[in-house]
Amino acid sequence: MNKTYDFVIIGAGSAGCVLANRLSADPNTSVCIMEAGIKDKDPRIHIPIGFAFFGPNNPVSWNYETVPQKEFEEVTVAEPAAEVVDTTGGVHSFKQEIKEHRRGAQPRGKTLGGSSSINAMLYVRGHRWDYDHWASLGNEGWSYDEILKYFKKAEHNEMFADEFHGQGGPLNVSKIRHENNPTKDFVEAGSKLYKHNEDFNGGEQEGIGFYQTTQKDGKRCSTAKAYLVPAIDRPNLTVITEANVNKILIDNQKAAGVEYIDAEGESHNISASKEVLLCSGAFGSPQILLRSGIGPREEIEKHGIEHKVDLPGVGKNLQDHIDYLTVHKYNSMQFIGTSIKAFLIKYPLEVLKYILKKTGLFTSTIAEAGGFIKSSESKEIPDIQLHFAPAMVVDHGRTQVWGHGFSCHSCLLRPKSRGTVTLKSADPFEDPLIDPKFLSHPDDMKDMIEGYKKMMGILNMEPVNKYIKQHCQRPIDINDDADIEKAIREGADTVYHPVGTCKMGSDDEAVVDQRLKVHKVEGLRVVDASIMPTLIGGNTNAPTIMIGEKASDMIIEDWKNNL
């Protein structure tokens, strides 16, 4: 049976959960939110450090990979075994190996809460300049002074109550409940070279300090926890999980509903009397638009899909933070890691500490401190973000490393490289083709090299420098730019902030307008990180929640005024 709701939300992630809560607050408004993933019951979601233990086959992630990145180094990869038949009819199997450019990892949340259920829980808004830049591009209403109220509306900050922070909002923001000496040493060392910053989300972003985190009482505060749980019992809110959306149903240039496939493989339609709200992220949202016939004609028709709305920018303008980690081994249980001593002595005590007090190592975000600095003094605002992790993080944690140590990230905040997301086929269960085109703009490599040097300048400063005297996973000659560049091509990858593929604006590549309505289609908005015209200078979860809050107000206002 085809059910009808006022609003159908595709994707229960960082923005979708916000919409579900805010729109269903009106008991006369019916809302259905659909999520491709399973319910967020896995304890590794809710115990903060648990996200580091999902491994390569994470059950609550899409586990995407990019296409081979031309600016990364070549690696040897195994191809499926080939079989040959000899002259006697015998069949022989042999392994094949080929060389290709390294692929990047792209984990994205596939559960209630989306990526807010598997991220490192850092609460970072970006720089004032970022939002003023959006407004300068013609997106009225998106300047920093105008969107600050939505950050504050979302937030309950345990640490700060001032003009920049909110109290009483659904999203709890707290300090990390894990006392860690190496992390303190990093902040002390960094504060000798750069100013100490107590609040990256306050009046100034620049400096070194500890991160704020989306936790409450020592547990993860995802958007599912913050927004969906308080609304879950409302009779006008329907939540459907394991619903893989094939396409948005378009009738006379209007979004009429959604076609989805359930866990049993059955196809269903749901109707939307007011709007379909697409909240599937920088990869999912362009995929669904393309499968719905919305986007560049050539990208759609080559997969045998009927082209309905010409929007050349769908899937274009992909931007992501490129990031390099330096990893160092240090034999001390002060660091998170694996050793016989840790398993026998430290971790049993930490388990008790977490069970009894919800404090200690199990509340760690792994990336506990960091900062925002400039790769050169010629930069107007910080363009490098640092994350210090008291653990050895290799290949996004998918490669387990025995022992203890630390990692430090150097992330380029506003890369000039631009990529794409396209369909591999019309199959709704097939992964998209993700091509960030990392390092394709030459300025990105130059800034990455300078960012690496700045990071190592901190790590070579007392008191943190005592930890880097032992093993470094990939030693680099700090005085040799060519060696730094080689290491970056060998190891750099995403720090999980893809945006921009359904960009907001009015130019030829824009997909949505400043009220997030899809151009040329009635009754359809995109509400997620894909609408960002440019990448913000920081982690993207808090800004995506802000987008959900602002969109909720715009939607309610538009329907109140019958727009």
For CA atoms 195, 198, 199, 202, the dihedral sign is: negative
Nearest CA among 208, 273, 286 for reference residue 245 = 286
Indicate the helix (H) or strand (E) that contains 446: helix 442-459
Using CA atoms, how far apart are residues 278 and 327, in angstroms rounded to an integer?
Answer: 39
DSSP state, residue 465: G
From CA 504, how far away is CA 533, in angstroms rounded? 6
The answer to whether the beta carbons of residues 289 and 497 sit under 8 Å apart is: no
Both tokens of 486, joined, read 């080689």
SS3 510: coil
Bridge partners of 512?
Answer: 504, 518
What span, in angstroms and rounded, lies between the C-alpha atoms of 506 and 555? 19
DSSP code of 122?
B
CA atoms of 543 and 285, how far apart (whole Å): 17
- Residue 222: phi, psi to the nearest 5? -75, 170
Q: Are 2 and 532 in contact (CB under 8 A)?
A: no
C-alpha distance across the termini of the chain, in Å: 30
Q: What share of the chain is helix, strand, coil (3-state, %, to 5)?
A: 30, 25, 45
Tokens of 333: 């249980």
Q: Are 15 and 279 in contact (CB under 8 A)?
A: yes
Which H or E run contains 541?
A: helix 541-560
Q: Which helix (H) or strand (E) holds 555?
A: helix 541-560
Residue 234 and residue 308: Cα distance in Å, rounded?
Answer: 36
Active site residue 307: no
Question: What's the rounded Cα separation, in Å, for the pair 441 and 420?
Answer: 14
CA angle 349/355/361 to nearest 5° reads: 55
Give the ranges where 26-127 is alpha helix by DSSP (H).
43-46
**Annotated active-site residue in 156, 387, 404, 497:** 497
Q: Distance between CA atoms of 155 and 518, rounded to whole angstroms?
A: 28
Residue of 280, 272, 278, 279 lying closest to 30 (CA atoms): 272
Residue 150 is which amino acid?
A: Y
Question: Which residues are catalytic, by number?
Answer: 497
